[in-house]
Amino acid sequence: MPQRDAQPIARRTVMGNFRARREAFRLAMRAPQGDPDFESRWTTVRRIRLHDRASRKVPPGAMPVVLVHGLAVSHRYLMPLAAQLAPRYPVRAVDLPGFGLSDDPGRVLDVPELADRLAEWLTTSGAAPAALLGNSFGCQVAVDLAVRHPDLVRCLVLVGPTMDPHPRTALRQLLRWLRDLRHEDPFQAPIILRDLADAGPRRALRTFRIALDDPIERKLPAVRVPTLVTRGSLEPVVPQRWAEQATRLLPRGELAVVPGSPHDANYTAAERLAALVVPFLDRVSAQPAG
């Protein structure tokens, strides 16, 4: 039997991966322009407009899923995951005040203030009660909201929750993030640079200090909703030890590892992350609300 030439197959694989990565980049950078699957919306909260990227097709009776971005970024790098979840759930990727396409609140908000603004947005926009999915610093905001506004949250998904309390210093955290960069999709770099330009260096640095000072480990025991914790198998930002500790602190926590993924699984490994998140959301949505 003649053997197939492996080189054309390898080239097709490389080209397919490149096209998928290019489409993820285009999806991330498309707002505020609409497309067949997503549109930009603005909701006024405390006299400032908050932007979110919302899926157009809303499965009837499905639980809303709200994606919360991490430190100094925006909805943009969440869009590959949003596209994976949208066929089953109404998805909204929100820009917190001062980030992405949302208005500047006039000062840098701390974690409780960001959680309160997000809680008001959930109520005003009609998205509550929702499943909250946060990445990195977004997990800190989502946890604070779930503790103080439990009626607005059906469940939590914490993708790479920061900050690990063991090396809670700026230098150690920065070194971990730098080590993580070699595993991230390089197409993500211009997206992050755009987000940093939107937020500004002062807001980014001040929010980093706020994140370091926020003791998420003290709040986790007060979270009463089902919570899925994930970490990427390749990431140094959230080591397995901290992911397991965070899960144990949660009264209704469970842990999953995203294979072959860095910290930003929602961008670099969106399909693999969604394969873990969707079954969890399906279980929660099948249970009676409240």
At 183-207, the pLDDT tens digits run 999 999 999 999 999 999 999 999 9
Residue 1 placed within a domain = no
Q: Which domain holds residue 77?
A: 6-286
What pLDDT score does 18 carry? 82
Compute the average pLDDT of residues 71-90.
Answer: 97
Residue 244 placed within a domain = yes
Question: How far is Cα 187 from Cα 277, in angstroms, rounded to an integer?
Answer: 24
Q: Which range, of 64-68, 172-176, 231-235, 248-252, averages the lowest pLDDT?
A: 172-176
The tens digit of pLDDT for each residue in 9-47 reads 334 433 448 888 899 999 999 999 989 999 999 999 999
Residue 224 placed within a domain = yes
Rounded mean pLDDT of the chain?
A: 93
Residue 162 placed within a domain = yes
Question: How far is Cα 289 from Cα 178, in angstroms, rounded to an integer?
Answer: 41
DSSP assignment of 177-228, as one string?
A: HHHHHTTS-TTHHHHHHHHHHHH-HHHHHHHHHHHHT--HHHHGGG--S-EE
CATH number of the domain where residue 209 is located: 3.40.50.1820
The pTM assigned to this predicted structure is: 0.92
**Which ranges constitute the DSSP H helices of 37-161?**
79-85, 111-125, 137-148
The tens digit of pLDDT for each residue in 92-119 reads 999 999 999 999 999 999 999 999 999 9
Helix (H) or strand (E) holding 246: helix 240-249
Burial 38-50 (b: 16+ CB within 10 A, else e): bebeebebeebeb
Question: How far is Cα 242 from Cα 10, in angstroms, rounded to an integer?
Answer: 38
Amino acid at the residue 126: G
Torsion-angle region of 126 (φ positive above 0: left; ψ -120 to 50: alpha; else: beta): left
Question: How far is Cα 254 from Cα 266, in angstroms, rounded to an integer?
Answer: 18
User: Is the pLDDT higher at 92 or at 286?
Assistant: 92
Compute the average pLDDT of residues 136-155.
Answer: 98
Question: How far is Cα 138 from Cα 253, in angstroms, rounded to an integer?
Answer: 17
Query: How far is residue 209 CA from its own chain's centroid?
Result: 20
Number of domains into which the chain is organized: 1
What pLDDT score does 290 carry? 61
Which residue is associated with the tokens 């970490």? Answer: 231
What pLDDT score does 160 carry? 98
Going by pLDDT thresholds of 50, 70 and 90, the confidence category of residue 61 is confident
Q: What are the structure tokens assigned to 160, written together?
A: 């790479």
Neighbour-count burial of 180, counting CB atoms closer than 10 A to its CB (0-12 exposed, 13-18 middle, 19+ buried) = buried
Compute the average pLDDT of residues 78-82.
Answer: 98
Residue 196 placed within a domain = yes
Compute the average pLDDT of residues 229-249.
Answer: 97
